[in-house]
């Protein structure tokens, strides 16, 4: 308790700035992009979860860095590239281009084949 | 281990009943218990002491100091156990043949298992939403997926038991029961062997992994052999095209498709890691993009099922009416409302109208649990789509005494308090939202472990939830905070509750 | 037809079990890529804890062991003793990166626990460490002529040193 009290004792002394977005200078569209990007980037220190939902300090730093990159007019791909360059593919939660399209197609193909096989079989049986 | 206890009790329960298949049921239960007993004695003995005793104990991770967390895994586990019992009945059926009595037991056990597993998963979701502070209820985390896989297979099993009335597709039903059981064994392997990264990190131990894998292999082998050998006993008819049973077949195929998606999405990262030494992640988008259309197909199927007793002509007319009203809604509603939402909504209304109509005609619903169950699934899907598409969040920086307007909400940061509790110190922030209610998110510092946790503050109403998570304090006295609005969370819990009630009713009325 | 299905399913099962047996025996790869093969980020104005400026070339010559630490980091304290041993026994420049620490706390920490570092870089906002690919403390980088040849996430102790670092000497 004592530590905490010291930690927060300077609390009311500081001058107050008025309330604002945590990442200043971003317009609404850019904020949406920031949310979208940080939903899709995994927290490198955590066992699971993206950086927008994690409380780890590294996640906040990364979010801040992404906000800076958005302000510097970087595209989403460039931002993803910076992240994978530093931390590897693991960090991207949603990476359709680099990912094997087979894992998207396989379940759908199996589904379509099984529905048609069953239907054809049923039609044959009904005759 | 709970597994053992529950098995023992279930045997005790059934020891009095003397039927042709009882001995087989008990024999298979005996074998399963014996295996897990071996596991407990040789690999995971609860009597081993820690090598060194931490002074004062290491303190329980604060996130785990929550009753919901403490009970959800045992409930899910009991769900697995009940599915093991269901499995034993099916194995008994392979030896002694499937009588109507056996089906009666199977339906009850499948119902109990499904109820327990769903209840456990729901509690886990609720815990994640209120305690983890991420504002989500499902993360497609590998361990969640592992509990979802037997659930999907079990859902398919419950539906396939419908065939029993006409003795159709027995082999498929048996296959599903085996699959459900194997998936739960598989789940315990995946979770306890530590080959996955997850929020649910458990003590990982390779020898335990090998043992659990061998159990999985052994059970798979045994059930596979039994399945093949007794294939002749499961000779049964095939449903007619367009019949009710045919719709159930379609339902089973689509559910299996969903199962496949979850399976691939969970295991593909392990595959690339082992074979290509490449780490990658499969995020929520993969699952939601593939699964949501499949769920909509399911909903369309069972809505159609409600109407299929009508003549073809009426169905065409009604279908046309539905399409027209969907298009109409699509045009008059604001452009950011999504097609799947309208689709779901229209089907929901159709289900409700049909239920009311039937009720007026007969003064009672046929199979009310089915109607209620399907209604809640549709409602839940609607709420989930709603939540997925409209929820917003924003990070703000705000000083005590200041106000801000974001996402059409007025947030007033009233004050901040420092409170000392028995095992933690906490900083409580008071926010007033829309001059209407107060939210007090907290940051806690635990005395023993020194961990810092954030307590989310949530205000729920039937349409939307307001959430605030307190962030860090800046040097000038302002704080960062994450403010989010989530839609339809209460409706999701409510519909899940209704779904559970419908299954409970459907099971109880058989006993 | 029936036979093929039986054989296929059996094969699938065997493959699945074999695959998991394999995955149990595969050593775990760390989640996040390490920074080996890269060089230090440039364009930063680096300052020692005592306020002196650091030339980037100082870090890019010869063998340098960069250790990320902080006074609030418990594992760093565990690692601290080994680092002191290390700087005594090996002829190597151990340089600290003080990560997200208040200057006073950092200096107090070194006064209390001893200082194994030639000097420490004061990275108060963690920006330099972020660009370097640090995800937390402690982390250790071994540099040879400006190239990162070893990156360790987490504690370095005698065993880790013998297995992963000592062969560079």
Domain B2-50+62-243 of CATH type 1.25.40: no
> pLDDT tens digit string along B391-407?
888 888 888 888 888 88
Rounded percentage of chain B residues whose pLDDT exceeds 70: 83
CA distance A123 to B242: 10
Tokens of C128: 């330099």
How many domains, in total, are found in chain C? 1
Is residue C20 assigned to a domain? no
Strand C63-69 with C93-99, pairing? parallel
Tokens 């927008």 appear where?
A52
Q: Among B281, B420, B475, whose Cβ lies nearest the Cβ of A93? A: B281
Q: Among C17, C21, C29, whose Cβ lies nearest the Cβ of B273? A: C29
Residues A126 and A79 in one domain: no
Is B273 part of the contact surface with chain C (CB cutoff 8 Å)? yes
pLDDT at B27 > cutoff 80: no
CA distance B441 to B456: 5
Cα A96–chain centre separation:
13
The b-or-e profile of A83-101 (16+ CB within 10 A means b, else e) is bbebbbbbbbbbbeeebee
Residues A124 and A77 in one domain: no
What subunits touch chain B, counting only 3 or more CB pairs under 8 A? A, C
> pLDDT tens digit string along C103-119?
999 999 999 998 999 99
* B271 neighbors B282 (Cβ within 8 angstroms): no
* A118 neighbors B253 (Cβ within 8 angstroms): yes
CATH code of the domain covering residue C52 = 3.40.30.10
Which residues from chain C sit within 8 angstroms of residue A91, using beta carbons? 32
Q: Where in chain B is the domain with CATH 1.20.120?
A: 2-50+62-243
Cα B101–chain centre separation:
30
Is residue A123 assigned to a domain? yes
> pLDDT tens digit string along B69-123?
778 888 888 888 889 888 888 888 888 888 888 888 889 889 999 999 999 999 9
* Structure confidence at residue B62 as a pLDDT band (50, 70, 90): low
Identify residues of A whose CB sits under 8 angstroms from chain C CBs: 44-45, 56-58, 61-62, 65, 86-91
Residues A71 and A106 in one domain: no
CA distance B62 to A55: 15
Q: Compute the Cα dihedral for B402, B403, B406, B409 and give only its sign.
A: positive
> pLDDT tens digit string along B241-281?
878 888 889 999 999 999 999 999 998 888 888 888 778 88
Residues A71 and A45 in one domain: yes
Range of the structural domain that residue C81 is part of: 42-168
Q: How far is C35 from chain A (nearest CA, A)?
A: 7
Range of the structural domain that residue A90 is part of: 24-95
Is residue C127 assigned to a domain? yes
Residues A107 and A121 in one domain: yes
- CA-based Rg of chain B, rounded to a whole angstrom? 26
Who wins on pLDDT, B375 or B238?
B375
Mean pLDDT of chain C: 87
Contact yes or no for C24 and B206 at CB 8 A:
yes
* B105 neighbors B44 (Cβ within 8 angstroms): no
> pLDDT tens digit string along B218-233?
999 999 999 888 887 7
* Structure confidence at residue A9 as a pLDDT band (50, 70, 90): very low
pLDDT of residue A5: 43
CA distance C107 to B429: 33
Is C130 part of the contact surface with chain A (CB cutoff 8 Å)? yes
Residues A117 and A91 in one domain: no
First to last CA, chain C: 64
CA distance B366 to B373: 13
Largest CA distance in chain A: 87
Who wins on pLDDT, B17 or C27?
C27
* A59 neighbors A22 (Cβ within 8 angstroms): no
pLDDT of residue B41: 61
How many domains, in total, are found in chain A? 2
Residues A56 and A107 in one domain: no
Q: What is the pTM of this model?
A: 0.87
Strand B442-446 with B403-406, pairing? unpaired
pLDDT of residue B485: 92
* B451 neighbors B474 (Cβ within 8 angstroms): no
Interchain CB contacts (distance < 8 Å): B and C: 40
Chain B residues 231-250 with a CB less than 8 Å from chain A: 238-241, 246, 249-250
Who wins on pLDDT, B20 or A9?
B20
Who wins on pLDDT, B415 or C91?
B415
**Residue B219 three-state SS:** helix
ipTM for the complex shown: 0.82
pLDDT of residue B65: 59
pLDDT of residue B502: 94
Mean pLDDT of chain B: 81
First to last CA, chain B: 28
């Amino acid at each position: 308790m004592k530590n905490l009290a010291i930690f927060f004792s300077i609390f009311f002394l500081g001058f107050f700035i008025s309330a604002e977005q945590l990442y200043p200078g971003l317009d609404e569209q850019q904020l949406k992009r920031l949310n979208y990007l940080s939903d899709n980037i995994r927290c490198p220190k955590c066992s699971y979860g993206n950086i927008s939902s994690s409380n780890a300090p590294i996640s906040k730093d990364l979010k801040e860095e992404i906000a800076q990159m958005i302000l510097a007019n970087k595209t989403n791909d460039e931002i993803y590239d910076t992240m994978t360059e530093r931390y590897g593919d693991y960090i991207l939660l949603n990476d359709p281009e680099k990912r094997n399209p087979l894992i998207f197609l396989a379940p759908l193909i199996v589904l379509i084949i099984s529905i048609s096989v069953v239907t054809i079989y049923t039609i044959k049986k009904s005759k | 281990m709970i597994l053992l206890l529950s098995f023992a009790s279930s045997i005790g329960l059934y020891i009095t009943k003397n039927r042709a298949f009882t001995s087989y049921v008990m024999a298979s239960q005996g074998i399963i218990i014996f295996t897990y007993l071996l596991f407990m004695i040789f690999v995971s003995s609860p009597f081993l002491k820690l090598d060194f005793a931490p002074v004062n104990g290491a303190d329980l991770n604060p996130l785990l100091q929550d009753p919901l967390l403490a009970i959800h895994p045992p409930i899910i586990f009991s769900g697995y156990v009940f599915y093991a019992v269901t499995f034993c009945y099916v194995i008994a059926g392979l030896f002694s043949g499937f009588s109507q009595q056996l089906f009666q037991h199977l339906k009850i056990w499948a119902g109990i298992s499904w109820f327990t597993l769903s209840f456990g998963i729901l509690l886990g979701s609720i815990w994640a939403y209120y305690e983890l502070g991420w504002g989500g209820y499902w993360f497609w985390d590998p361990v969640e997926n592992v509990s979802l896989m037997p659930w999907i297979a079990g859902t398919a099993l419950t539906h396939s038991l419908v065939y029993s009335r006409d003795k159709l597709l027995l082999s498929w039903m048996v296959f599903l029961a085996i699959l459900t059981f194997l998936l739960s064994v598989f789940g315990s392997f995946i979770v306890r062997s530590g080959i996955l990264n997850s929020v649910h990190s458990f003590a990982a131990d390779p020898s335990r992994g090998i043992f659990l894998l061998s159990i999985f292999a052994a059970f798979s082998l045994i059930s596979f052999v039994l399945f093949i050998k007794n294939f002749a006993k499961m000779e049964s008819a095939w449903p007619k095209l367009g019949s009710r049973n045919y719709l159930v077949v379609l339902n089973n195929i689509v559910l299996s498709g969903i199962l496949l998606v979850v399976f691939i999405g969970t295991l593909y990262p392990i595959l690339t890691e082992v074979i290509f030494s490449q780490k990658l992640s499969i995020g929520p988008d993969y699952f939601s993009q593939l699964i949501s259309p499949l769920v909509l197909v399911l909903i369309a199927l069972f809505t159609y099922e409600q109407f299929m007793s009508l003549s073809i002509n009426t169905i065409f007319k009604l279908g046309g009416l539905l399409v027209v009203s969907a298009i109409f809604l699509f045009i008059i509603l604001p452009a950011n409302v999504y097609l799947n939402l309208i689709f779901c909504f229209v089907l929901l209304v159709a289900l409700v109208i049909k239920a009311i109509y039937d009720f007026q005609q007969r003064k009672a619903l046929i199979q009310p649990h089915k109607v209620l169950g399907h209604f809640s699934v549709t409602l839940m899907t609607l709420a989930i789509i709603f939540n997925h598409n409209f929820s917003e969040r924003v990070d703000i920086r705000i000083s005590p005494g200041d106000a801000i307007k974001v996402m059409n909400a007025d947030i007033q940061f009233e004050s901040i308090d420092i409170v000392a509790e028995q095992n933690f110190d906490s900083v409580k922030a008071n926010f007033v939202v829309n001059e209407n209610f107060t939210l007090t998110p907290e940051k806690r510092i635990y005395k023993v472990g020194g961990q810092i946790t954030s307590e989310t503050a949530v205000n729920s109403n039937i349409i939307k939830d307001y959430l605030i998570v307190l962030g860090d304090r800046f040097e000038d006295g302002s704080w960062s905070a994450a403010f989010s609005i989530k839609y339809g969370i209460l409706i999701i819990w409510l519909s899940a509750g209704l779904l559970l009630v419908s299954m409970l009713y459907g099971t109880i009325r058989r006993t | 037809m029936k036979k093929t299905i039986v054989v296929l399913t059996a094969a699938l099962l065997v493959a699945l079990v074999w695959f998991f047996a394999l995955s149990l025996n595969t050593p775990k790869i760390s989640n996040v890529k390490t920074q080996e093969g890269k060089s230090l980020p440039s364009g930063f104005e680096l300052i020692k804890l005592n306020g002196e400026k650091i030339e980037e070339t100082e870090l890019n010559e010869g063998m340098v062991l960069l250790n990320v630490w902080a006074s609030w980091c418990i594992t760093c304290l565990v690692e601290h003793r080994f680092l002191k041993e290390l700087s005594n026994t090996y002829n190597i420049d151990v340089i600290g990166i003080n990560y997200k620490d208040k200057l006073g706390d950092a200096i107090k920490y070194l006064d209390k626990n001893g200082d194994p570092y030639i000097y420490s870089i004061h990275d108060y906002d963690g920006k330099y460490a972020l660009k370097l690919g640090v995800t937390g403390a402690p982390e250790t980088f071994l540099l040879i002529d400006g190239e990162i040849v070893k990156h360790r996430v987490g504690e370095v102790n005698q065993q880790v040193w013998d297995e992963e670092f000592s062969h560079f000497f």
